Amino acid sequence: MNNNVWEKCVAFHGHSCGGLTIGYKAALYAIDLLALTFSSDEEVVCISENDACGVDAIQVILGCSIGKGNLLFHLTGKQAFSFYNRQTGKSVRLMLKKKPDSMTREESYDYYQGLEPKEMFKATDTKIKLPEAARIFKSYDCESCGETTGDNWIRLQDGRKLCVDCHQKYNRFDV
C-alpha cells in the first residue's frame, strides 16, 4: 500500500475501515488493469453499485466525482465497481469476493488490508455500457415554487413547467 495515498483517503473519509480499504484496492486494481490516471474531467468513469465507504477512496485516487459526472451509482447493494477508460475504450467490473465467515469488523479490516487487489476482486466484463459524457442542461423556473431547475427535471402539467417537487404524480394503481 502507498501510505501517502492511503492517508489521503482516510483524511477524506474521516477514518480507516474495511469499507474504505475495499474502494482503495478496487481503485488500485482498476489502475493496473486499465492504465488509469487521476481524472481531471471525465477520462475515467466509475459506476458504483453501492454508496458505501469505498466510494470515497475511488474519489480521492481516481478523481471520479458526482459533480464532474464521472461517478455514477447503479445501486444494487453489491460491493462492485465498474471502471471505464474513455481514452482507450477499455472497461472492467470488479466484484468483491466473499470473505471468510464470522469475522469481526477488526478482523475484516485486517483481512482486507492484507490482501492484494487481485485476490480481493473478481474482474469481469462490465454489464453496463459506458455512459455518455455529462450534459449541460438549460434551466427553467418552476411555475409553482419559482425555484430554478434543469430542463431534464422539469415536468409539464396543465401547460405549466413544474419541478419534480411541485409536479403531482399520476399513477392509477397507487390511489
Reference 59, options 5, 18, 98, 104; nearest CA is: 5
Domains and their CATH numbers in the chain:
3-124 (3.30.1330.130), 135-175 (3.30.60)
pLDDT digits (tens, 9 = 90+) for 94-139: 999 999 999 999 999 999 999 999 999 999 999 999 999 988 999 9
Query: Can you give the length of the chain in residues?
Result: 175
Which residue ranges of the chain lie beneath pLDDT 50? none
- Exposure string of 133-169, with b = 16+ CB inside 10 Å and e = fewer, is eeeeeeebebbeeeeebeeeebbeeeeebbbeebbee
